[in-house]
Structure formats: C-alpha cells, structure tokens
Amino acid sequence: MNNKFVWILVAFALLVALLAVGLTRDPREIPSPLIGKSAPEFSLPQLGKDATFAPADLRGKVWLLNVWASWCVSCREEHAELVKLASRNLLPIVGLNYKEVRGDAGLDSSKLTPDEEKQLATGRAQQWLAERGDPYTLSVLDLDGRVGIDYGVYGVPETFLIDKAGVIRFKQIGVITPEALEQKLLPLIAELNQ
C-alpha cells in the first residue's frame, strides 16, 4: 500500500511497545539501601509481656519482620495472607506494631502519658489480633516510630526478610500479595534456609 500516512501508525505502535515494556518495570523499585546490610538493632517491649525483643535474639534463623498497626486499612488485607503463612510454620514472623496510637487519625495522643499510651496501644493491638488471628511469633511495640525510622519505614505495611546472619535480604513495600509471596518471598526463604 502506498500511503504516506502509515508512518503515524508505526510511530504509535512503537510508543505502545515502549509503554508495554514500561508496565513490566517498577520505577519505585529503587532498591532499599538496607538490602544486603545488617538489620538495624533495637530493643523494644513485647506486646502483652514484660520481656523485650532484639533482632539479635533470632540470630541463626531466617525470619520476617512485618510492620503493622490496627489503624492500617491495607493491613487487614495482608493479615489473612500472613495467618496462612504462619500456619505453615516456615519461619518466625515478628510483628513490628508501628505508631499504634500516634498513627491513628482519630486519636489525640498529645494528652496521654507514656504509660497510658502503652496501655492503650496494647489493648488495641491485642484486640485486633484476637479478632483476626495472630500470625506473629511475637509482636513488639514501636510507639514513637523510632525503630521505623531506622528501618526506613514510610508506610504501613512493610515487610523485611532477614537471614541467619541478621542481614536484610528483601523488603516488601505495601501488602504482601499472594503473587509476591509465591514468586519472591517463598523461593527466597527456601534458598536462605538451605
């Protein structure tokens, strides 16, 4: 066909091809600077217990650190997935309860004493776990979000996979979708456990 306008369709097809390739990539996937580094140390009170927890306690094991809060709407979606994962007993899952009180839009935390804040947070977190099942080996309370800062948390949920040497190997930003679990997390866990 002798049509001088055909180049328009060719140019458009090229653009579409480019956009299609673009879709397979994630511009936000700027590797977290923490990957390949040791998980930052901390020591936080455990939810509902008098003990504290530090990442060093799990040295020698592959484990997940899952950042959650009861006010986080997406966490509900993720929670069912986590409960399923926990029932397979593949690895310890530690919950980092992040800004349980201060992060909640409906609460004014400025008038609470530290003790009151902790009590309120514990109550809310425990109730949430009681209602939906508790996938966590243990949970810790990061009331003021300082540990969150060390881990570069900028939204809830986020999940870190930490290896036997205490090195962060993977970070899931946002909900652990069934695809992310099957395609990324589980193979990596199997590999790290070898």
Partner 1 sequence: MTPELGHFALILALLVAASTGVLALWGAQKNRAPWIALAKPGALALALLVTFSYLCLTWAFTQNDFSVRYVAEQSNSLLPLVYRVAGVWGGHEGSLLLWLLMLTWWTLLVRLFSRALPETMRARVIGVLCLVAAGFLLFILCTSNPFLRLLPGVPEGRDLNPMLQDPGLVIHPPLLYMGYVGFSVAYAFAVAALMSGKLDAAWARWSRPWTMAAWVFLTLGIAMGSWWAYYELGWGGWWFWDPVENASFMPWLAGTALIHSLAVTEKRGGFKNWTVLLAVSTFSLSLLGTFLVRSGVLTSVHAFASDPSRGIFILAFLVVVIGASLALFVWRAPKVGLGGRFGLFSRESLLLTNNVLLVVATGTVLLGTLYPLIIDALAVGKISVGPPYFNAVFVPIMTPLLFLIGVGPFARWKQASIPEIARLLKWALAVAIIVAIALPFAYGDWTPFVGLGIFAAVWIVLTALLHLIRQARATQGSGSFIASILKQPRHFWGMHLAHIGVAVFVAGVTIVGGYEEEKDVKMAPGDSVSVAGNTFRFLGVRQVKGPNYLAWQGDVELSKNDRFQRRLLPEKRIYHSSAMPMTEAAIDAGILRDVYVSLGEPIDRAHPETEWAMRVYYKPLVDWIWGGCILMALGGLIAMLDRRYRIRRNNPKAVS
35 binds partner 1 (CB under 8 A): no
* 138-142 and 93-98 beta bridge pairing: parallel
Q: Does 108 bind partner 1 (CB under 8 A)?
A: yes
User: Is there binding between residue 16 and partner 1 (CB under 8 A)?
Assistant: yes
DSSP state of 24: T
Write out the binding residues for partner 1, residues 111-130 only, by CB under 8 A.
none
Q: Are 92 and 63 in contact (CB under 8 A)?
A: yes
Interacting residue with partner 1 among 68, 71, 128, 170 (CB under 8 A):
71
CA–CA gap between residue 102 and residue 173 (Å, rounded): 21
The interface region with partner 1, picked from 1-9, 45-53, 121-129, 183-191 by CB under 8 A, is: 1-9
Is residue 145 within 8 A of residue 99, CB to CB? The reply is yes
Phi and psi at residue 183, to the nearest 5°: -85, -30
Among 45, 57, 90, 104, binds partner 1 (CB under 8 A): 104
Q: Is-contact 144 50, C-beta < 8 A?
A: no
Name the residues that contact partner 1, by CB under 8 A. 3-6, 8-9, 12, 16, 18-23, 25-28, 30, 71-73, 76, 99, 102-108, 110, 145, 174
